[in-house]
Structure 1
């Protein structure tokens, strides 16, 4: 599953766009120096997210929406369209 697909599924599971969850994490004091496991634990407890989905969001909380371009343009299930993830939600894609 691609990073973007994880984020899209998180929105479907929680009803919140990824940016809302990132903002919530930052309001809780989570950032680049926070251990991923701490963010994963919060997301599991608060939203019932599994490890893979929570790790994708933890990456964004800690590093921002930029991802490695090694999967961009490649083939396979981990392929992303862009090295910058969309955090504005599924409804914004068609605009």
Structure 2
């Protein structure tokens, strides 16, 4: 599953776009210095997200929407089309 596919599934599971979850995390005081475990606990308790999906959100909360270029355009199952993740929801995602 690509990184973007994880974020799209998180939207399906929570009913919130990744950007909305980032704003909620910010309102809770979560940011780059927050321990992953604290974010994972919040996502599990409030949204029943498992560790894999939770870690995708940890990445964007702590590091923003960029991913390593080594995952872009590869043939593996984790490949993404771009190094920039779309955070504003599946319905508004531009076609690649």
After TM superposition, the score normalised by the length of structure 1 is 0.96
Secondary structure of 2:65's partner?
A: coil
2 CA distance for matches of 1:3 and 1:54? 12
Runs (4+) off by over 2 Å: none
Matched, 1:72 2:72: yes
Unaligned segments of structure 1, at least 5 residues: none
Count, aligned residues: 95
Corresponding position of 1:92: 92
2 CA distance for matches of 1:35 and 1:75? 32
Corresponding position of 2:47: 47
Corresponding position of 2:58: 58
CA RMSD after TM alignment = 1.1
Q: CA deviation at 1:23?
A: 0.5
Secondary structure of 2:16's partner?
A: coil
2 CA distance for matches of 1:14 and 1:60? 16
Q: CA deviation at 1:94?
A: 4.9
Q: CA deviation at 1:72?
A: 0.1
Unaligned segments of structure 2, at least 5 residues: none
